[in-house]
Structure 1
Amino acid sequence: MHLFALLFVVLIAGWGGGSASASEETGFRQIVLADGPVMVWYPTAQDAPVTMVADNKAFFGVDVIRDAPVSGANHPLVILSHGYSGLWRNQAWLAGYLARAGYVVASFNHVGTSFGSMDPSWAKDLHRRPAQVSRVLDALLADEDLAPVINAERISVIGHSLGGSTALLVAGGVFDPARLLDACGDDSRKLVCTVYRKGGLSRDMASVSAADPRVASIVLLDMEGIRAFTPESLKGIGIPVLALVSGVEDPALPLGWEGREQAALLPAATSRYAEVIGSTHFSFMSQCKPGAVELLEEDAYVCQGETAPREQLHRRIAETIVTFLTAGKQLVSALQVP
């Protein structure tokens, strides 16, 4: 397939409902499940009192109105899945943008693969992440306040890095551990290979499938692990898939080995692929504050390497995602062609 390094996706807007007016703010509340708290973001007409969430010394947070009422109804739902050793805070910027665009958004820490709470053998239980996504979805659709304002026909999962693999599992992809380990061989440079080996992935593990038929579309943000998914399962995915990948080459996350392989393997009829020029793998995380590089020390790479301002990248990424999600199944402008 020919690849087009495009950022903006030109699609026909086919699904109405769920849009927020320019005057609306970001509402925020928590629901507590057995796995831990789930942060819920949504449009609200209430404009005070404003507080900030997901803010710390290194990363900017998002202004929200806590426990405000949801404005309107028929809102599409997005579930965010963070990356390996990440946190719900990593994509708070995107949650806020989507809420202001009329979406209900849920973010949470994945059990066993979140920062400060890592299971050393997490890769031996690959069902855990997609199962948690489905449980969160169960809870949202059963919540007496949120369920009435959610459009259950417009449910999407957006995943960054390892979260992309989680989203692809939920969409119907089948993860075969042996495929990934065979593709990796003895490679010790590629991040996806070292992370899965360290987590205990082995060739004798059974393939994993975790499709949730309630999910109507997915977005992959610089996903890792496409080579683990069986070609047959990828061809069978019938819901829209948007794959956005970083445009700055990284030896640990080779564009040709990861992102462009997604473009080659995902079904052309239902998937769209774009390289976000100027972005790194970590551009999909929150915006770094001045002084973050010095503060983060050996982890400063999460704030470095971009060739465009992260704030600008975020705006373009979010606009592309909203255009894609609004289009639904009417994917008329292909970013990949035979």
Structure 2
Amino acid sequence: MSELGLANPELNKSMLDPRIKAFISLDAGLTRGFTVDSLEKIKIPALIIGAGIDIDDTDAKLESGYVQEFLPKSSSTYIIIPDAMHFSFIQICKSNALDILNQEKQDESIICKDGGYRARGEIHREVTDLIIGFLSKTFKK
């Protein structure tokens, strides 16, 4: 561990920030880099949203699902949007984006594709409603 610099005590100190009262994750990737211990220590409300359509190695069960598995069930919500892909959560692409992206590099246009029967804007509306509902419930006065 010391060869990797992981024995540094600074890396093991608490990263708790009392200003953060809740968090939302939109189809996070590389989450298996979080330790089970660190995830189990998260005590704030969480909304974890995953994409139902897997591209490459971004299977929601292995990414968002991994995070959800170790968060407190009483304060976290896990939702899969069946027809969303990983990139469905970013901005809506311009009308000529597919051509531009494919000129840059083959298969780059995947960032403008969604997985199912709905347009990206409709997926965004669903995500917006989920987030507003979560925040309203979490911070109700």
Provide TM-score, normalisation by structure 1: 0.36
1:327 paired to 2:132? no
* Other structure's SS at 1:242 match: strand
Which residue in 1 is equivalent to 2:111?
302
Aligned residues: CA RMSD? 2.1
What letter is aligned with 2:115? E
Q: Structure 1 residue aligned with 2:38, among 222, 226, 233? A: 233
Return the offset for 1:295.
1.1
TM-score normalised by the chain length of structure 2: 0.81
Give the deviation of 1:276 after TM superposition: 1.2
Contact 1:234 1:265 in 2 (8 A): yes
Aligned twin of 1:261: 66
Secondary structure at the residue paired with 1:290? coil
Distance 1:278 1:321 in 2: 18
Q: CA deviation at 1:326?
A: 0.7
1:258-294 deviation per Cα after TM superposition (whole angstroms, max 9, x unaligned) = 1221221222121110011211111111001222100
User: What does 1:35-74 align with in structure 2 at a 5 Å threshold?
Assistant: none
Counterpart Cα distance in 2 of 1:283 and 1:313: 7
Which of 98, 107, 126 pairs up with 1:316?
126
Over the matched positions of the two proteins, sequence identity in percent amounts to 28
Aligned length: 130
For 1:210, the equivalent position in structure 2 comes to 15
C-alpha separation between the residues in 1 aligned to 2:70 and 2:100? 40
Separation of aligned partners in 2, 1:218 and 1:259 = 13
Deviation at 1:203, TM superposition (A): 4.3
Indicate the structure with greater helix content: 2
Superposition map of 1:156-305 within 5 A = 203-205=4-6, 206=8, 207=11, 209-297=14-102, 298=105, 299-305=108-114
Q: How far apart, CA to CA, are the structure 1 residues paired with 2:72 and 2:33?
A: 16
Residues 28-39 of structure 1: pairs in structure 2 closer than 5 A: none
Does the Cα contact within 8 Å between 1:239 and 1:329 map onto a contact in 2? no
Q: Which ranges of structure 1 fall in alignment gaps of 5 or more residues?
A: 1-177, 179-201, 331-338
User: Secondary structure in 2 aligned to 1:287?
Assistant: coil
Superimposed CA distance per residue, residues 46-83 of structure 1 (whole angstroms, 9 cap, x where no aligned partner): xxxxxxxxxxxxxxxxxxxxxxxxxxxxxxxxxxxxxx
> Is the 2:52–2:81 contact (alpha carbons within 8 Å) kept by the matching residues of 1?
yes
The corresponding residue for 1:136 is none
Which residue identity does 1:265 align to in structure 2? F
What 5-or-longer segments of structure 2 have no aligned partner?
none
